[in-house]
Amino acid sequence: MTLSGFPGMLVYSTIPVWLNQRSGRRRTTKGDHTMRFLTFLANGRDVFSSRGYNFGVSKAKVQQVASADFPTRWGQFRIHGFTTGSANGAGKKEEAVALVMGDDLSGSPLVRIHSQCLTGDVFGSLRCDCRQQLEMALSMIARQGAGVLIYEQQEGRGIGLMAKLQAYALQDSGLDTVEANEKLGFKADHREFQMPVEILKALGIKKVRLLSNNPDKVGALERAGIRVTERVPCEIAPTSHTADYLKTKEEKLGHLFTKR
């Protein structure tokens, strides 16, 4: 969809937006939960959003280094290992895996890009909904009989495990997840999604149904050349442990939730 006077402009959602002039964070207004973010992409830039992913999309290609059968309690997958990094050793080297179910990924397969969460995915932390989202995604892919889950090493929204634990301590003193990250000198969200995009391209996938509550992920994929035909919610019911965490995701990080 384009708008008159803005060639190449993409509109992928609609909701009133305002920017905090001091922090630069984008927040939503209160209102009907069916409304959505409005983000304009003009000449490769997000006009309104001060927080987004893949504005400087890396040209580095991923290398597939392993592939094996991977039976799980959700069904039979193939697990593919990917790595990236410059040939001369400069730049950041990243690793990720893709769990692929089904032989036919043409059309618009269900895709989940999941950021590593040791505390939740492995130890079952109740402070977040990461493990439940991971298991929900695998279950939904299994029901479809085809799809991809990309598991990327971006612990703590990209700040790393030790910094994440330091952020936990600050949260215990009353800060929310965004405030804790900023107190430690980090952005609210340090992730980028260039590598998952390159993995999708390596798998021959050009368009997806994206399992995510985060509209900025939609924008990241679209900017990098992957068409998102549908954003599929991946919502976990709040608990007494996660209510404030999910509220911060919604109010400060722009995640979309149905009215609860």
Angle at 110 between CA 98 and CA 69, to 5 degrees: 35
Per the annotation, the verdict on 191 as an active-site residue is yes
**How buried is residue 143: exposed, middle or buried, by Cβ count under 10 Å (0-12/13-18/19+)?**
exposed
Strands of the 45-46 sheet, one edge to the other = 10-11, 40-42, 45-46
Q: CA 44 to CA 21: how far, in whole Å?
A: 23
Per the annotation, the verdict on 51 as an active-site residue is: no
- C-alpha–C-alpha distance, residues 9 and 1, integer Å: 7
The angle subtended at Cα 128 by Cα 126 and Cα 130, nearest 5°, is: 110
Residues 6+ apart with CB under 8 A from 24: 50, 51
Token pair for 19 = 């920017």
Phi and psi, residue 185, nearest 5° = 95, 10
Catalytic residue among 46, 129, 189, 216: 189
Residues recorded for the chain: 260
Candidate list 131, 191, 223, 231, residue with the active-site label: 191
* Residue 249 dihedral angles phi and psi, to the nearest 5°: -55, -40
Residue spans of beta strands (DSSP E) within the chain = 10-11, 17-19, 26-28, 40-42, 45-46, 63-72, 75-84, 94-101, 110-115, 147-152, 207-211, 227-232
Q: Which residues are catalytic?
A: 189, 191
